[in-house]
Amino acid sequence: MRTYERFMNYVKVHTSSSETTGTHPSTPWQFDLANILADEMKELGLADVKVSEFGVVTGVLPATEGLEHLPGLGILAHMDTIPEFSGENVEPLLWENYDGSDIVLPKCDRVITNEAFPFLKDLVGKTVITASGDTVLGADDKAGVAEIMTLCEQLIEEKIPHGKLCIGFTPDEEIGEGVAKFDVEDFGAEYAYTVDGNLPNAVEFENFNAASAFVKITGVSVHPGSAKNMMENAVMIAMEINNALPADEVPEKTEGYEGFYHLMTVNGAVDYAEMDYIIRDHSRESFEQRKATMERVVAEVQAAHPKAHIELIMKDSYYNMVEKLTDCMHLVDNAKKAIAMAGLEPMESAIRGGTDGAKLSFMGLPCPNLGTGGYNFHGPFELVTVEDMDTVVEILKNIVKIYAEA
């Protein structure tokens, strides 16, 4: 089966995760795809296939005869799609021999324009896959899932020699819980790759350090006609806190290795307000300084409003995987070699976000990230090409061959 055919089947399965349930997986429908994948893995001939009670799918493609001595190599992708935009009732559309014009999606008056997305010119002649306009497509990361499944099929059918391959599909990556219940020891790999990036020639081994910051403000609400020296307006205090943070250090004004403070939501009234931030930086030192700045700002605003009560709850989410990859850069070097073998120029890039691989690296499984061939993740303009997905499968096969020859 072609990679894109698998992909178009997978995206029709609703797998949106949720930040509000507190369960693992966060939504029960993620089991639907998990069970489909487990059945396919068994049909292909993978061993020890299982779906854990937490929705994690794992299986093993045993080493070919004579290569049993090689360390286990893991290859992973995540099954869920973002909770912020619908991933239900996805209708994948094929745009064959794409001519480079704006892509008019049939629903919600949405258009993927060249003006907004200049990379479209590079896709001319390829077969583009989009959703219909009212949902995400799900290339993040069902493209990765389809590519890994196709890799397994081709390795078996083409009788390509390989060491032990450990295959994994996780739920809840989009809410930062993808490997919260992942059993690294049971997985059986010494090294791994996630397939969860965008461009097919990308190799990502750096990512943000990340923390959440939740601010709760209890104000003092009195009649506005007699409020002088008594009222503490929680919403105004929230604005004061945000205005005290560096104005240019926000996502919309930063790129590359530049970190930021991102105000995700703010809600409230005079008596009570809440603010939800994420804090990001590639440098651990700068990351710690950002957290210290948030603490200082809250403390200073609290001192200026003694009758109010301000609570700051900060929690680290994940760290930069490069800290754990410096002693096993063969993963990066071999990925770049595999990309070059596929006729592409390898591109190193730092992730302005995180992946399961970042957390796995700190759990003892060094795990850089590879591209899927997808674009415009996390919204209705998401797309992927048939040809780029095929290229990713070729790159993965090259990686397997390289490690088989080690």
- Residue-by-residue pLDDT tens, the chain, 406 positions: 999 999 999 999 999 999 899 999 999 999 999 999 999 999 999 999 999 999 999 999 999 999 999 999 999 999 999 999 999 999 999 999 999 999 999 999 999 999 999 999 999 999 999 999 999 999 999 999 999 999 999 999 999 999 999 999 999 999 989 999 999 999 999 999 999 999 999 999 999 999 999 999 999 999 999 999 999 999 999 999 999 999 999 999 999 999 999 999 999 999 999 999 999 999 999 999 999 999 999 999 999 999 999 999 999 989 999 999 999 999 999 999 999 999 999 999 888 888 899 999 999 999 999 999 999 999 999 999 999 999 999 999 999 999 999 7
Same domain? 53 vs 183: yes
Provide the annotated active-site residues.
Answer: 80, 173
Question: Do 72 and 172 sit in the same domain of this protein?
Answer: yes
**Is 308 found in the same domain as 351?**
no
Q: What are phi and psi of 213, to 5 degrees?
A: -135, 115
Q: Assess whether 177 and 227 both reside in one domain.
A: no
Taking CA 279 as the corner, what is the angle to CA 84 and CA 17, rounded to the nearest 5 degrees?
25
* β-strand pairing of 309-318 with 191-197: unpaired
pLDDT of residue 154: 98
Around Cβ 85, how many Cβ atoms within 10 Å? Answer: 14
The domain in which residue 188 lies consists of: 3-207+320-404
The secondary structure of residue 352, as a DSSP letter, is S
Q: Are residues 289 and 367 in the same domain?
A: no
Residue 222 maps to which CATH number?
3.30.70.360
* 195-228 burial code (b ≥16 CB/10 A, e <16): bbbbbbbbbbbbbbbbbebebbbbbbbeeeeeee
- What pLDDT does 350 receive? 87
Say if residue 74 is in the same domain as residue 139. Answer: yes
Whether 308 and 161 map to the same domain: the answer is no
- If asked whether residues 129 and 246 sit together in one domain, one would say no
202 and 119 co-located in one domain: yes
Q: Which residue has the tokens 């307000």?
A: 273
pLDDT given at position 241: 98
